[in-house]
Each structure stands twice: as C-alpha cells, then as structure tokens.
Amino acid sequence: MSATLNAPPVRSGIARTLLRRPEIAVASLALVSMLAIGAINPAFWSAGNLFSLLRANVIIGILSLGVMMIMLSGGIDVSFPAFAIAAMYVTIKTMIAWNYDGVVLPFIGATAIGLLLGLVNALFVTRLKMIPLIVTLGTGTAVRGFLLGVIGVSTINIDHMPQALIGFARTDLIDVTQANGQHVGLSAMVLVYLVLALGVHLMLRHTLIGRSIYALGGGEEAARRAGFSVPGTVFFIYGLAGALAGFTGLLHGSMIWIANPHDMAGLELDVIAAVVLGGASIFGGRGSVLGTMLGVFTLVMLTNSLIIMHIDTTWQRIVTGAIVIVAAAITSWRDRGRSA
Amino acid sequence: MSDVTKRPRMWRLGRLGRIDPALLQMAGLTLLVFVVMAALNPEKFLRPYVFESITYVAPELGLLSIAMMLAMLTGGIDLSVIGIANLAGILAGLYFHAHGGSSGPGLTRMAPGPVAVGIVIALSTGLVAGAINGVLIARVRLTPILATIGSGQIFTGIALVLTGGPAIVGYPRLWGAIGNDSLWGVAIPLLVLLAAAALIGLMLTRTSFGIALKLIGTNLRAARFAGLRTARTIFLSYVLSGLLASMAGILLSARTNAAKSDYGVSYLLEAVLIAVLGGTNPAGGRGSVPGIVLALAALMLLSSGLQLLRFSNFLVDFVWGAFLLLSIALNALRNRTR
C-alpha cells in the first residue's frame, strides 16, 4: 500500500458531515436523481408513477431490513430469496390443499417457515463456525433445489390463488384521480413496510438485543467481554431475518397474484446493493434503518426509472453493479479514515 | 499453529504421511461415491460413455473451482467468475460473427488465424476483468464479496447490453473442436484442465508467489511485516482467477456452440462447493489443486449418477447444497476432535 492511502485524509466540513451521516448523503443522492429524472421526463412526477415506485419499495425494503441486521453483525446473507419463495409457495399450496381462505394464519405460517430456515443458518454460523456467505449459499441452493425438486415447479396463477390474500394486498391507502381521469391508489402494503421498519429501528436503538447486534459487529471478542451472548445474538439475527423473508415471500405472492417457485432468483444482489448504498458496512457495526430505507428507495428509483429515461432495461445490471462498487468504496474509505 | 507442532510426526511417516489427511479423505469419498453409484445402477452407470462425457463437461467447472480456490487462499472470494466466463465467450463470439458472418461457411470454416484471435480476445477479457477485481480489492481495498458481486453484475450487464439478451449461437468449427474433440484419445477440455491444474499446482507449492499467497491468507499483518508485497500478490491472484474463468468461458462456449449472459449460474455454488470440499479454507491460508481435482471427480460422478437414477436437475442442486453443508459440518467436527 502506498503511504498516501494510509495517511488520514484531509476533509472539508461538508465531506465530514456527509461521511458521518450517510443518511444525508443518500438522501441528497436520491433528491438529485429525482430532479434529474423528472427533468428528463416529467411523467416521473405523476401520482401513478410515484405510487408504483413506493409500492416497488415494499418487498426489497423488508428484505433489506433483515440483510442490514446481518451486515450490522458482520455477516452476509444470500439465502433469503430462496427462503421467501419456499415459505410463500409451501403456504399457498397448503392453503389450496386445505381449501383455506384467510390472511392472518397464512402469514403466521410463512413467517414461521422463514424463521425455522433462518435458525438453520444461525446453527451453521455459530456452532460450526463457518463463514456466513458459504453457509447461506449452501442453504439457499438446498432450499431452492428442494422446493423445485420435491414440492413443485408449476406456477400457481390468479385463478387458483387464495382470494383473501389478493384482497388483502389490493388494499389502498389513498386514491387519487389523475389529470387523465385515471384512478391510482397507494398500496397499503407501504404501511406494512413502514411499521416493520419502525419496529426494527426501535429494536436496534432501544433494546438490549439491538445494542448487542451493534456490539457483535464491532468485534466478537469485545461483545463477549461486554457480557453479550454471541450465539444468542446470532440466532436472533438470522432467525429474525429468516422470519422477515418468509413474511415478505407471501406478501410478494399476494401483491403480484402469482406463486412462482422460480421467482426472486438473483434478488439478493439488488437487496445487498440497496443495503450497502444505505451506508451499512460489511465489516459490521455501521448501518441504520433510515439509511437502508433511503438506499432501497434510491436503488428502486434508479433501476425502475431507466424506461422513463429512455434507457434500455438491459442496463439495469450495470447500474446495480456500479452502485455496489461505488457505495462500498465510499464506505470502506469512511471506515478506514475512522480507524486511522 | 497445529501444522507446526504436527510436522515432526508427519515426517516420520515418510512420503505417505506428507500427504494431507484431508486429501486422503477426499480420495476415499470419491471412491465411495463411485462404488455407491455403481452398486445402485450398475448397468447404466458402468458404461464408458458416462465417464467419457464427464471428461468433456467437468473441466469448465474445474477451472472455475481452481479460480475460486485462488481467491479463497487470501481469505477472499471471487463471485464474478461466471460473469467473466460468459463475457469472454460472448466477446469472442461477437468477433467471429463480425469477421465471418453470423452463419454459413464464412463462420464455420474460419481459418486458424482468426480463431486464435478469438482465443486472445477471450483470454484478454479474463485478464482485464481479473485486473479490475484486483484493483478494487488490493488497491481500493473493497471487501472481496462486495467488489466481486458488483463487478460480476457489471460483467454480466455488459454481456446483456452487447447481446440484448438472446444467446449468441454459432461458432467456428475449430473453436468447437476445443470443447468437443479429443487428442490421443483424451478429451481436449480435460487436457486443458490438467495443464492448467499442473501449472497452478506447481505455482502454489514451488514458487515464492504461491507461498506468499498462503502466508497472506494465514496472517495478513504478519505477511506485511515480513516484507511481502501483499497488495501486488493479492492483485495477481485475482488476475489469475479472471484468466482461469475466461478459459472456462472458452470451454463452455466451444462445447455448447453458444454463449449467453446468464449461462452456468448454478456453477457459482458448485465452484464454491468443490473448492471447500477440496480442502480449501475459505478464511484463507489453505488450499491445494489435487484436492480440487478429487472433489471435482467425486461431485461429477455423484451428479451423473443421480441423473441416471432419474433425479431432476433441481434435486441434484438440492444434493449439491446439502453436500456443501454436510462437508462444513464434517470439517467442523474434525477440527474439534483435534
């Protein structure tokens, strides 16, 4: 390494504030992008587009809450899309087999399936001391393979989907009539996302288990000496992330009216990109719910607005990849400056 | 630590004792898989065709696994290998189509000269992509996971933008020969794999670069204080990993006569699994080429055996994932009893 890299960088007041509060940096980025996209195509500011953007935040957003917690503790998770889809598909298949039509019980069931799978991750990470990336790569592949190889490969479409679930996910918060006379509604699922985010935020900031997650990310040995139970914390994080994934899976199926066991493949990359963009550090100990939500919002807005900006959607992956690299570079530069 | 205290006893056992016990265990597992598959389905499994087809299909995965192992030696990982492999095959294919037309004799009967240019294009793709990873990890100091997740998206994205989505179909006959012909009765892909494996194996055990890689993976700080040029060594390991990935891309497109931005997605887990099963420590410092080759043989025998037993590809995926978890559990138990 060259000497210049190791020397503490000189920073202006603005740069220091932006680095210390990544939320402000991401929020500024979001605002600038919104203005730019709106300038290229004013249709961006239509209620219909804004509502559909917010709706697109819900699934990635809830999944990001789980991944953010895991990254706070210094781990990473790539298994959650498989868990989410497995929980969704098994729940809906069971509902159809038992001819059951309801909302609360199925969501409890899907959440429980996700929770169990998350605990398996935790078992491998704590008891067998294996690197989280490799564990979750293994559990993700095994669960997806089991789902497709044993439970089923066929998509359940709207004709067979439980009607109560669709009805629940169709609930709107507000209804607006656009200039062209079209009715557009803001999905109530946005509220579900906000409530879950608030819950995770309060848990992280104001409970002992929340503080232990930050402590674990700061250093395992230090957390142990401070009196936190390291295995307990790890089981909690991966269990909660799994439960959130199971819940989100069923919500996703309900929102798109289709249960496709092949769905969500590769979604982990978007979610990780959003969480990293939100300022979470993969070295653990840094990250917040607000930052993550802003990261999700910005990522969803940028990738979903490619069409509005007349850019071919094949560019979506390049945009996501660039976001991961640039955001991770800034985060790593920030954390290096802090430790120097 | 334990390696140092164990060494004297291992020397006394002579040549055999110097073989890593994990390697012996792997050889035993390969044999076990073979015996079980042969016992379950002798008339279908014990046919020359089964083993011959493995020698054509396995090498591309073997190259990716060695690439993965090189990144893991320094405690990193390369999640972009599939993206690099596909991009290398696609860029070569685009060159062929531009040079000889998208079909017809101009393409299929292309002279050795332009085909060699295609190989250079593919290998350069791997070198450049690997160098990008190397700069991001060794100079910008990104975590290997995030750097290669991001760069892998970009490589795949470039492939997607260049092709617009559909596969590039149709390669010169000479290019296809790399993936489908044999030399002295041995599949050419297998010869490519064995040559690459021998070179990387010698490099890891007999050169200062290989020793430096393992030392960095064992203890980065100590390696730096010992005067090793850590950034340069890590950079080179990712360049090499990219080069191996592009070789896999050549074999894949040559064997299937096509290249697509999302081919071989399941290879990522399989490469990680083979690397870990072959005795590589994903936390760094330990890994060997013979281990990888044995693990590759065991898993290819397993998956072709399962396919002959009419397991669906999804179930084979499940078995691979379960195998990875099982091998983690066994490693953990073995380390505990030590």
- Note the pLDDT tens digit of each residue in B291-336: 899 889 888 888 888 888 878 888 888 888 888 888 878 777 776 6
**Does residue A29 surpass a pLDDT of 80?**
yes
Residue A247's Cβ-count burial label (10 Å; 0-12, 13-18, 19+) is: buried
Q: Is residue A3 part of a domain?
A: no
Q: A340 at the B interface (CB within 8 A)?
A: no
Q: What is the mean pLDDT of residues A43-67?
A: 90
So what's the ipTM on this one? 0.79
Q: A223-237 in b/e burial notation, b at 16+ Cβ within 10 A?
A: beeeebebeebbbbb
Q: How confident is the model at residue B156 (pLDDT cuts 50, 70, 90)?
A: very high
Interface test with B, best of A126, A137, A262, A311 (most B CBs within 10 A): A137
> Is a pLDDT exceeding 70 seen at residue B87?
yes
Asked whether residue A170 carries a pLDDT value surpassing 90, the answer given is no
The domain of A213 spans 19-339
Q: Is residue A6 part of a domain?
A: no
Q: Say if A9 falls within a structural domain.
A: no
Q: Do A328 and B322 touch (CB under 8 A)?
A: no
Q: What is the mean pLDDT of residues B98-120?
A: 82
If one counts the domains in chain A, the total is: 1
Asked, for residue A50, whether it belongs to a domain, the answer is: yes
A135: nearest CB among B136, B314, B328: B328
Which positions 65-94 of A are in contact with B (Cβ < 8 Å)? Answer: 76
Q: Is residue A170 part of a domain?
A: yes
pLDDT at B171: 87
Q: Do A142 and B77 touch (CB under 8 A)?
A: no
Q: Are A33 and A298 in contact (CB under 8 A)?
A: yes
Going from the N-terminus, what domains does chain B have, and what CATH number goes with each? 23-35+45-337 (1.10.3470)
Q: Which residue has the higher pLDDT, B49 or B292?
A: B292
Taking 80 as the threshold, does the pLDDT of residue A116 lie above it? yes
Work out the minimum CA distance from B107 to partner chain A, whole angstroms: 27
What would the pLDDT profile of A279-316 be if each residue is shown by its tens digit?
Answer: 776 666 677 899 899 989 988 988 888 877 878 888 88
Residue of B nearest to A75 (CA): B145
Q: In the prediction, which pLDDT does A11 show?
A: 53
Which one-letter amino acid corresponds to residue B147? A
Instruction: Quote the tokens at residue A77.
Output: 């998770």
**Shortest Cα distance, chain A CAs vs residue B27, angstroms:** 23
Q: What is the DSSP letter of A156?
A: B
Query: HEC states along chain B?
Result: CHHHHHHHHHHHCHHHHCCCHHHHHHHHHHHHHHHHHHHHCHHHHCCHHHHHHHHHHHHHHHHHHHHHHHHHHCCCCCCCHHHHHHHHHHHHHHHHHHHHCCCCHHHHCCCHHHHHHHHHHHHHHHHHHHHHHHHHHHHCCCCHHHHHHHHHHHHHHHHHHHHCCCCEECCCHHHHHHHHCEECCEEHHHHHHHHHHHHHHHHHHHCHHHHHHHHHHHCHHHHHHCCCCHHHHHHHHHHHHHHHHHHHHHHHHHHHCEECCCCCCCHHHHHHHHHHHCCCCCCCCCCCHHHHHHHHHHHHHHHHHHHHCCCCHHHHHHHHHHHHHHHHHHHHHHHHHC
pLDDT of residue A133: 87
Q: B121 falls in which pLDDT band (50, 70, 90)?
A: very high
Statement: residue A2 has pLDDT above 50:
no
Say yes or no to pLDDT of A5 above 70.
no
Contacts of range A220-224, beta carbons closer than 8 Å, 24 or more positions apart: A220/A74
3-state SS assignment for residue A259: strand
Confidence check: pLDDT of B134 > 90: yes
Residue A8 lies in a domain: no
**Yes or no, beta carbons of B325 and A138 under 8 Å apart:** yes
Q: What is the pLDDT of residue A18?
A: 62
Find the mean pLDDT for residues A51-58. Answer: 90
pLDDT in tens, B232-289: 888 999 999 999 999 999 999 999 888 888 887 778 888 988 898 888 888 877 888 9
Q: What is the mean pLDDT of residues A104-118?
A: 94
Shortest Cα distance from A114 to chain B (angstroms)? 18
Q: Greater confidence, A327 or B59?
A: B59
Q: Mark yes or no for CB contact A328/B315 under 8 Å.
A: no
pLDDT at A99 over 90: no
- Which residue of chain B is at minimal alpha-carbon distance from A143? B318
Q: Is A284 helix (H, G, I), strand (E, B) or coil?
A: coil
How much is the pLDDT for A13? 65
pLDDT at B5: 44
Predicted pLDDT of residue B4: 44
| Contacting residues of A for B269, CB less than 8 Å apart | 137-138, 141
For the ranges A63-77, A134-148, B201-215, B239-253, which has the lowest average pLDDT? B201-215
Where does the pLDDT of residue A147 fall: very low under 50, low under 70, confident under 90, or very high at 90 and above? very high
**pLDDT at B13 (0 to 100):** 44
What tokens does B200 get?
């990387």
pLDDT of residue A39 exceeding 60: yes
| Average pLDDT across chain A, whole number | 84
Of A92-101, A115-124, B13-22, which has the strongest mean pLDDT?
A115-124
Query: Looking at residues A251-260, what average pLDDT do you find?
Result: 89
| Helix intervals (H) in A278-315 | 289-304
Q: Does A4 map to a domain?
A: no
pLDDT score at A75? 86
User: What pLDDT, on the 0 to 100 scale, is given for residue B186?
Assistant: 84
Residue B3 confidence class, pLDDT cut points 50, 70, 90: very low
Share of chain B above pLDDT 90, in %: 27
Q: CA of A261, closest CA in chain B: separation in Å? A: 12
| Residue at A11 is within a domain | no
CATH no. for residue A216?
A: 1.10.3470
DSSP assignments along B59-118, one per residue: HHHHHHHHHHHHHHHTT---TTHHHHHHHHHHHHHHHHHHHH-SSSHHHHT--HHHHHHH
Cβ within 8 Å of B, A 132-161: 133-135, 137-150, 153
- What pLDDT, on the 0 to 100 scale, is given for residue B218? 79
Mean pLDDT of B32-40: 81
The answer, for A45 touching chain B at a CB cutoff of 8 Å, is: no
Mean pLDDT of chain B: 84
Record: contact A329-B136, CB cut-off 8 A:
yes
Q: What is the mean pLDDT of residues A67-92?
A: 92
pLDDT in the model for residue B6: 46
CB contact under 8 A, A269 and B149: yes
Out of A82-91, A214-223, A315-324, B242-251, least confident range:
A214-223
**Of B153, B315, B332, which is closest to A128 when you measure between CB atoms?**
B332
Out of B268, B283, B318, closest to residue A131 by CB: B283
Paired strand residues for B259? B168
Residue A184, helix vs strand vs coil: strand
CB atoms within 10 A of CB A86: 26
